[in-house]
Amino acid sequence: MNSYCSSILFDHGPNPFTINLRNAASHNCNSCTTLWSGSSLELKLLNILPWKTTGWKQHPETDQIIRIECGTALLILASKKCHPNSQKTLHNGDAVFIPAGTWYNLKNISKCPLKLSLVQISSNNFKN
């Protein structure tokens, strides 16, 4: 783990916190790092290696916002697991809003690691 990861990239919640997300995401060397969690909101940084995927994900009670910080991704959306309805290519700065209950899979289609920031919004408490 590089020194930036160990000194900055840890859960700072539920305290007020400011950070340059693009910079933090670019330094994230873990597949998933929780950067901030509160009672109903959580921010994670993701690092997906070239040509790898997140795998099919669904959060029944949690809305999500995923932003591409660096790289290019193929977003696949589905109403049922492994039965795609649509797909879209996402680039640096693009964001996708995923309602609770939606199946999705993100694939890194670039030659460098895909860096993402992910915000989850829930009526449940993340700090159980």
DSSP letter (8 states) at residue 58 = -
Tens of pLDDT along 29-63?
889 999 999 988 999 999 999 999 999 999 998 99
Which helix (H) or strand (E) is 4 found in, with range? helix 3-8
Q: Would you state the pLDDT for residue 71?
A: 96
Q: Please tell me the pTM assigned to this model.
A: 0.85
- Per-residue pLDDT reduced to its tens digit, 44-53: 999 999 999 9
* Backbone phi, psi, residue 50, to 5°: -55, 135
- The pLDDT value recorded for residue 1 is 45
Q: What is the pLDDT of residue 13?
A: 84
What pLDDT, in 10s, does the model give residues 2-17? 555 556 788 888 889 8
Q: How confident is the model at residue 102 (pLDDT cuts 50, 70, 90)?
A: very high
Between residues 19 and 9, the one the model is more confident about: 19
Residue ranges per structural domain of the chain: 3-122
Q: What is the pLDDT of residues 82-101, one digit of tens each?
A: 888 999 999 999 999 999 99
Q: Does domain 3-122 sit in CATH 2.60.120.10? A: yes
Question: Which amino acid belongs to residue 7?
Answer: S
The confidence band for 124, taking pLDDT boundaries of 50, 70 and 90, is low
Written as one string, the DSSP assignment of 14-40 is: TS-----HHHHHHH--SSEEEEEE-SS
Distance from C-alpha of 11 to C-alpha of 37, rounded to nearest angstrom: 7
Q: Residue 24 burial (CB < 10 Å; 0-12/13-18/19+)?
A: buried
Instruction: Tell me whether residue 21 is exposed, middle or buried, using C-beta atoms within 10 angstroms of its C-beta: 0 to 12, 13 to 18, 19 or more.
Output: middle
Q: Is the pLDDT of residue 128 over 80?
A: no
